[in-house]
Chains A and B, each alone.
Chain A
Amino acid sequence: MFEIRLGDKGEVVCEGRLDASQAGKAQAFLDALAAPDVVDMARLEYISSAGLGVLLRTQKRLLQSGGGLRLVNPSRHIRDIFRYSGFDRIFQIDDGA
């Protein structure tokens, strides 16, 4: 199961498992936001390369207008995936919102 929604502070909240069957849902949600900035991953259990593609496409769009995503509270496993992908060079990744 995967859920994506806006949190109380306007942050994007991702929960569950972001796999290839859910990437379209995540991309559509992010594409509908003019300038998302924070993505809270505290309850995101799993991400595959399809989910990484969603984040990368969104980041490329935002960078063109001077914005960018900040990825907060990823699990240790997801942090490792980000590091092995080089995402720690192209996203700001933090432990707290």
Chain B
Amino acid sequence: MISARFHRSFDALDQVFGFTRRFYDAEGVPDEARLVLDFCLEEIFTNCVKYNRGNLQEIELTLDRAGDRIQARLTDFDVEPYDITQAPAVDISLPASAREPGGLGLHLVRRLVDDLTYDYTNRQSRITVTKNLR
């Protein structure tokens, strides 16, 4: 298991992806799972950035492998609760004229991962995604 903390900024994504790449390389994670995990981590990380802009705390990312499962957990410190597993659904059947950018990220996270959990204690939000490799 490895952990690191990242500055609360979109510009930190390069460092986040560098960190995940080193983990994927060490664990031999297949390309498809890498893309899915990076997608989910970006969506959750940027969600933390967008909705807690005044917060100066860094965001912690922990990666772990247990057999054929990869678990990635983002911890956001000193925040109000926001359970992303309860985010509103997106109607993907609407025509382009009725669609608005936004909301798709969490919709896709729920679609792509094998498990998504949210926990809130001591003003800390912990979001864990699990991706099975088989």
Which residues of A does B touch, CB under 8 Å?
17, 19-21, 45-46, 48-50, 52-53, 56-57, 59-60, 63, 77, 81, 84-86, 89-90
Contacts and interface: CB of A to CB of B under 8 A. Distances in A.
A21 B14 contact: yes
Interface stretch (B56-64, B78-86, B101-109, B124-132): B101-109
Interface in B69-95: 92-95
A57 B104 CA distance: 13
Contacts of B108: 49, 81, 84-85
Nearest to B94: A86
A20 B42 contact: yes
Which of B46, B92, B94, B96 counts the most chain A CB atoms within 10 A? B96
Contacts of A84: 92, 107-108, 111-112
B92 A81 contact: no
Given A19-B17, A49-B105, A59-B96, 6 more contacts: A19-B42, A48-B105, A49-B43, A53-B104, A57-B101, A84-B107
A81 B92 CA distance: 12
B101 A53 contact: yes
B118 interface: no
Interface residue range, chain B: 20 to 34
A89 B92 CA distance: 9
Given A20-B42, A63-B96, A53 B102 contact: yes
Nearest to B14: A21
Contact of A77 (B32, B43, B100): B32
Nearest to B99: A56
The listed residue with most B CB atoms (<10 A of its CB), out of A17, A20, A56, A81, is: A20
Contacts of B94: 86
Contacts of B43: 48-49
A45 B38 CA distance: 12
